[in-house]
Structure 1
């Protein structure tokens, strides 16, 4: 994990914490406050794309839903296309699908079969990495299409849940901007 504070922004201070959501004992890390702050949002996008500016990224793949917001901005900065990874049943064309484990159960995500061509360089993004279930599922989908995954980047890491390490164990570099202890 690489954690970097922008000279313009303290990312930790720009993120709201909501106790006992979605269930008692959980501290929900909400990036909507960071997204609403134009300086913090710009600084976060700049910090996330900086290592990949010269990496010939073809697509940024964003995981539903906050990964769409970040992914669109990252793709724009990298002059790359954007590819959505969505929950089951939300994409209109032929898809591939994978089931994955969540902190609180299981779910499925999909990707259009024609979204990525073999060998294309992809940057994966979402707002937060917790257990890594969704991100590892996304990596499986991208690899099924032959993508070369350059890295996975997130605003927040919850290192106690081990998700970033699970992604690294798959041979994918991980970049985050801030980490919070606990879950």
Structure 2
């Protein structure tokens, strides 16, 4: 992809993102991706940029793992482009059958993440995708679940990263690829 095309796609994504102060609680500036999803060209731009990155950096990928719920929006699109499967990491009680579960802390509460026990075979190479990285709680929990499943986490992909909250530091040794970065305030 030409650098000018890449820059145009990033500009389109940045234009569509919007901030909502004090949501879901006071002091949080929520970065809303809904306008991206309303614009087919912008949704395609996100998928194009993720695909370009993955094809350059990871020639062998077995699965895309999407986080509940917004990782479900971009993950299947990327999986389809790459010709690989898609796996869900969901909130507690949302998946049928035997699951592996993990409790974790969020910026403003606690949560549980689950994956079906048979979703990933040991040694499979996976990419984890979500819409936003803040403190890293959800992505860390997903990576821990994948470790239990004996998957190889190649990278974490996000549309937006809130740099000042240091979520990428918390995810080490896993790396994070983000399309757009902001501060949280």
Which residue matches 1:127? Answer: 131
* 1:6 partner SS: helix
Instruction: Supply the distance in 1 between the matched residues of 2:178 and 2:90 (Cα, whole angstroms).
Output: 22
Q: Which of 31, 37, 40 is matched with 1:38 structurally?
A: 40
Is there any run of 5+ residues in structure 1 with no aligned partner, and where? none
* Greater share of residues in helix: 2
Conservation of the 8 A alpha-carbon contact between 2:10 and 2:179: no
* CA offset digits 1:51-94 (Å, max 9, x no partner): 22252211100000010011111111111100000000000011
Q: How does 1:34-113 map to 2 (within 5 A)?
A: 34-53=36-55, 55-113=59-117
TM-score, normalising length: structure 1: 0.93
Instruction: Supply the distance in 2 between the matched residues of 1:102 and 1:64 (Cα, whole angstroms).
Output: 14
> How far did residue 106 of structure 1 move?
1.1
Q: How does 1:9-20 map to 2 (within 5 A)?
A: 9-10=10-11, 11-20=13-22
> How far did residue 96 of structure 1 move?
0.2
Is there any run of 5+ residues in structure 2 with no aligned partner, and where? none
> How far did residue 5 of structure 1 move?
5.2
**Higher RCO (C-alpha 8 Å, min separation 6):** 1
Q: CA RMSD in A?
A: 1.4
* 2:179 partner SS: strand
> How far did residue 42 of structure 1 move?
0.5
Instruction: Supply the distance in 2 between the matched residues of 1:150 and 1:143 (Cα, whole angstroms).
Output: 12
The 4+ residue runs of structure 1 with deviation greater than 4 A are none
Which residue matches 2:24? Answer: 22
Conservation of the 8 A alpha-carbon contact between 1:64 and 1:85: yes
Which residue matches 2:8? Answer: 7
